[in-house]
Chains A and B, each alone.
Chain A
């Protein structure tokens, strides 16, 4: 019984992970400028990765190694937005204009 619940939860998390990573990939390809793309990198992708790693944590069950997976989960949530912020800041500092022509021809 418990196993089935965990199994279902894992499937749910993996589907969630794939969905959000798919959105992140679409965002990286479709969005019009660096700043907008950084949104998907720092957020949807982080959540996607978070879901997938959470599935890994569940699948491993209670054993010492799981701690590494939990740590990985925490790291992803701290490092991804930091990297995205650094990139956006660098883009801003080097004078990449924000929002460019995103009002009219949105998809490129």
Chain B
């Protein structure tokens, strides 16, 4: 009986890896058990809540393994699990620790790693993981032999990306040119072409999808006025505080896990938080925001989570708005005020 551990996450080489592992797994053995695990803390899910995506991802992997191993002489079984780690998974060491636990508990002989396994956009994350597993366990560790990065660029220049960037820069050029003329159209097309070729591949992480992009654009017409009203209202509050002779501010730093996933939605949320007076995002890292708040009122707004809901609406639609507020979820921690005279 061969037992193979296969940690998975959304990645460009995932399918190749699964097929490879499944084919190699059934060779020269009479029984093999694949244990496929997903660590939600890696937040490798661009679109939806981690747990839901984890389920669909694991199902997809299990199906793919079963399809690939059909007709093999060996008896194949697949078990999948979403592993909720008790520690924060930031470094390869943390991830390796979880995998070592798995090896121990389930008596694993082989660990198969996807070459681009790890948090999104962390290239080479898998190598230290592999090294630690080799040193600390007797299991055979292998990274599937696929090229994880197409060149050094984060994205490939595919048709949707090319079209999107070309159109955008072409329109921008025409606006600057102040109207449509033959000269403008020709020079604009050339310029947009140069921009697309040189910068196209590094502009977008994911190609724009016909399914999402236009509807998000329409939703922006609701989101932007909402944001503008929120900004104006909060601006008047902050103006009162700043012009007040006594300057009654109460600055605190807030740690905030928003229910918004993926780089672009997170950036939108961070930007909106910064635009709303009284709150300023200081750091966005691994799905966590560090927000500087100027007044008590601004904190209350953040805890009630109106903006978070609006951003969820913008990216995921109306149904996604029904979510508990950050305060109810306990995803916000407010720092204690620092006593004056403390360390500089």
A residues neighboring B (CB under 8 Å): 19-20, 23, 26-27, 30-33, 35-36, 38-40, 42-44, 46-47, 64-65, 67-68, 71, 77-78, 80-82, 84-85, 88-89, 91-93, 97-107
Option from B231, B253, B294, B339 in Cβ contact (under 8 Å) with A39: B294
Q: How far is the CB of A99 from chain B (nearest CB, A)?
A: 4
Complex-state Cα separation, A19 to B240, whole angstroms = 12
Complex Cα gap A46–B276 (Å): 10
A92 to B280, CA, bound (A): 12
Given A35-B280, A43-B231, the answer on whether A68 and B340 have CB atoms closer than 8 Å is no
A39 touches B277 (CB 8 A): yes
B344 within 8 A of A: yes
**Residue from the list B242, B274, B337, B344 in contact with A42, Cβ < 8 A:** B274
Looking across the interface, which residue of chain A has its beta carbon closest to that of B174?
A67
Interface of B is mostly: mixed
Contact B238 A99 (CB under 8 A): no
B247 touches A98 (CB 8 A): no
Contacts of B132-179 to chain A: CB distance below 8 A: 172, 175-176, 178-179
Residues of A within 8 Å of B271, CB to CB, are: 78, 81-82, 85
Residue of A31, A42, A98, A99 with highest tally of chain B CB at under 10 A: A99
Q: When chains A and B are docked, how far (Å) is the Cα of A11 from the Cα of B283?
A: 38
Given contacts A44-B238, A81-B275, list 15 more A-B pairs with CB under 8 A.
A20-B239, A23-B239, A30-B242, A33-B251, A36-B249, A40-B242, A68-B176, A88-B280, A88-B281, A88-B282, A92-B282, A92-B290, A99-B338, A100-B344, A106-B249
A71 and B280 contact, CB distance less than 8 A: no
Task: List B residues at the A interface (Cβ < 8 Å).
Answer: 172, 175-176, 178-179, 231-232, 234-235, 238-239, 242-243, 246-247, 249-253, 270-271, 274-278, 280-283, 290, 292, 294, 337-344
Q: Which single member of B175, B281, B290 contacts A68 (CB below 8 Å)?
A: B175
CB neighbours of A98 from chain B (8 A): 251, 253, 282, 292, 338
Q: Which residues of A contact B247 (CB under 8 A)?
A: 30-31, 106-107
Instruction: Find B283's partner among A40, A89, A101 (CB 8 Å cutoff).
Output: A89
Q: How far is the CA of A85 from the CA of B338 in the complex (A)?
A: 22
What is the CA–CA distance of A85 and B266 in the complex, to the nearest angstrom?
A: 13
CA A47 to CA B227, docked complex, whole Å: 12
Q: How far is the CA of A98 from the CA of B341 in the complex (A)?
A: 13
**In the bound complex, do residue A36 and residue B178 qualify as a contact, i.e. CB atoms below 8 Å apart?**
no
Nearest CB on A from B51, distance (A): 29
List 7 A-B residue pairs with CB atoms under 8 Å apart, sorted by A's residue number: A30-B247, A32-B249, A38-B292, A68-B176, A84-B280, A85-B280, A97-B343
A60 CA to B172 CA, complexed, in Å? 19
Q: How far is the CB of B211 from chain A (nearest CB, A)?
A: 25
Bound-state CA distance A33–B234 (Å) is: 20
User: Which of A26, A64, A78, A89 has a CB less than 8 Å from the CB of B282?
Assistant: A89
CA distance A35 to B339 in the complex (A): 17
Q: Are A44 and B242 in contact (CB under 8 A)?
A: yes
